[in-house]
A and B are shown apart, each in its own frame.
Chain A
């Protein structure tokens, strides 16, 4: 087992890519640590599946190299890489029993009967498939079928990494939870590198130690779920993670202040001296960081409450700061003013972005 290192990876499905939008992957350099549980998060069409297929060797990249440890595997065909992959829809060999399905990768690799049986029994016990080993795989439910797909990866003693391409799409919400727990168990027991592609942020955040966020063919941030929530490195991450997403306010620097239509904030903190000469500036603040100060705070920005949406344990308050709209998230039961009020944007939680990239906080 070893880390998976990706260097200078670019990929296009077009034969002669010229325009930048023809590149499915624009530029990716990344190291997947050995034994890590990663989520690869991003919207549809951002290049997640392409990245996965390049790691497993189903797609050959246009440019760049892939290393498993010290070994360059860019040219190595799929069947000789130590990679297993679970697809969005369960892929089964319909005519075989569950046992036949689980044993198939081993039979293809010439593993002896005794060892094969032992591995199949072990993996089936782990995945809770022991009782259905002699049933026809085609007759089982979607969740069991995905377990079999996963099992075909786990039986191989040589597997260093298991790739998941949105494996829970067809699974009922109630069953999803137990499947995710099963995945965690598998990870703790076998310690393979897991790379889990999803566009569901809850799935990504509960599953992974490290979340890799992709946007438009590039990796925009790698971090723990907390990092992604508290300090999004790219405005897309702020917008994509959290419900509702981060508020963004286009601002103009004006001496010691940052001005937006409807208000201004003091330009303070480390970013004060580091303002780029050009590039569109934006302030980003999480709805949960926005404070409704009701006009008591002298530095508050005047605002009008225009809508309140109560969602169980919390409420979303939509505010108008002049022509600018922002959302605040407040705990249920906290007083919500109506009509004219004031808001405070705490500088340590107010982040400044230039051309969508984070420069720093206002404190």
Chain B
């Protein structure tokens, strides 16, 4: 351990502490404040303890939304991580083709979220959309406004289209940083393409893939705009995810107390799962 000679270092940290306090801790504390009070008006409020938390936990709609949200994140990770790595593997590593491919792949990431929603909303319409009409023409009944399965398929495919590029770019950056000597040594050792992937590329991609998994988990768990624009949470409540519930509660019904309690639980679940993912991925690597 290194012992500090004096405490002056604290002054250097102080600006960061202040900035974080005002941007993160203070707003979070106001949410904590709302979550334990029932607010009737600007000057009438009652302390209710954990009442709102109990209400949120016992709410069947919220429980169902949690289940839906987990299923959604699970599917998204299951598809996007392997697909992103596969895309990165077939990209040309250097030269103008590489630059062109990277720009082309990154395009979905540059589109505003609500525009992504609009694109797919139109694209997937069964009567006029290219995708929707095309799928129906193949004889597969498809209507995302009426059929929950179609709605889920639309949202999953949209998310894969929108976010696989991020995974691909991260994996591509990881692949680029592998020294050519590794591939040369593997060729001399007579390794197959699969062995090169398993014993060179995958281990070297560990860190970027950890980041990719965490980012994609957090973002997919918080997804709001795109499903809201495409399905509005329907049909029924089949695509009503947690954030859609939360917005309805906080802005639609102005139930600040339950919404605050819900927000805190939502936040803690994301934090907990990110921690679990991180720990597991680090342990797999050090085994």
Contact = CB atoms under 8 A, between A and B. Distances in A.
Given A85-B188, A104-B189, A94 B181 contact: no
Nearest to A58: B184
Contact of B187 (A79, A104, A109, A152): A79
A105 B190 contact: yes
A129 interface: no
B interface, size bucket: 10 to 19
Given A104-B191, A108-B190, A85 B184 contact: yes
Contacts of B179: 89, 91
Given A88-B181, A108-B195, A79 B188 contact: yes
Interface in B189-203: 189-192, 195, 199-200, 203
A84 interface: yes
B203 A85 contact: no
Contacts of B181: 87-89, 91
A149 interface: yes
Nearest to B179: A89
Contacts of B188: 56, 58, 78-79, 83-85, 105, 153
Looking at chain A's contact residues, is the secondary structure mostly helix, strand, loop, or mixed? mixed
A141 B172 CA distance: 29
Interface string A74-92: 0001110001110111010
B182 interface: yes
A174 interface: no
A95 interface: yes
Contact of B199 (A58, A79, A96, A153): A96
Contacts of B200: 93
Nearest to B284: A95
A40 to B, nearest CB: 17
| B interface: dominant SS | helix
A59 B192 CA distance: 19
Given A87-B181, A89-B181, A109 B190 contact: yes
A78 B185 CA distance: 10
B185 A91 contact: yes
A152 B189 contact: yes
A98 to B, nearest CB: 14
A105 B195 CA distance: 11
A109 B189 CA distance: 9
Given A94-B203, A108-B195, A87 B190 contact: no
B192 A108 contact: yes
A87 B199 contact: no
Contacts of A95: 199, 203, 285
For A58, A109, A149, which residue has the most chain B Cβ atoms within 10 angstroms? Answer: A58
Given A108-B192, A108-B195, A87 B187 contact: no
Contacts of A104: 189, 191, 199
Interface residues of A, number: 24
Contacts of B182: 91
A93 B182 CA distance: 9
B177 to A, nearest CB: 14
A79 B195 CA distance: 14
Interface in B218-242: none
A87 B185 contact: yes
Given A89-B179, A95-B203, A96-B199, A149 B189 contact: no
Contacts of A152: 185, 189
Interface in B100-151: none
A85 B181 CA distance: 10
A193 B179 CA distance: 27
Contacts of B191: 79, 104, 108
Contacts of A87: 181, 184-185
Given A85-B184, A91-B182, A105 B199 contact: no
Contacts of B203: 93-95
Nearest to B180: A58
Nearest to A80: B190
A93 B204 CA distance: 10
Interface in A288-327: none
Interface in A203-256: none
Contacts of A58: 184, 187-188
Contacts of A84: 188
A91 B181 CA distance: 7
A20 B285 CA distance: 49
Contacts of B187: 58, 77-79
Interface string B17-42: 00000000000000000000000000
Contacts of B204: 94
Contacts of A78: 184, 187-188
B286 to A, nearest CB: 8
Contacts of A149: 185
Contacts of B285: 95
Interface string B164-192: 00000000000000010110110111111
Given A78-B184, A94-B204, A108-B189, 14 more contacts: A77-B187, A79-B187, A84-B188, A88-B181, A89-B179, A91-B181, A93-B199, A94-B203, A95-B203, A104-B191, A104-B199, A105-B190, A108-B195, A152-B189
CB-CB nearest 7 A-B residue pairs = A108-B190, A91-B185, A105-B189, A79-B190, A87-B181, A78-B187, A93-B199
Interface of B: 179, 181-182, 184-185, 187-192, 195, 199-200, 203-204, 285
16 contacts: A56-B184, A79-B189, A79-B190, A79-B191, A84-B188, A85-B185, A87-B184, A89-B179, A89-B181, A91-B179, A91-B181, A93-B200, A94-B204, A96-B199, A104-B191, A108-B190
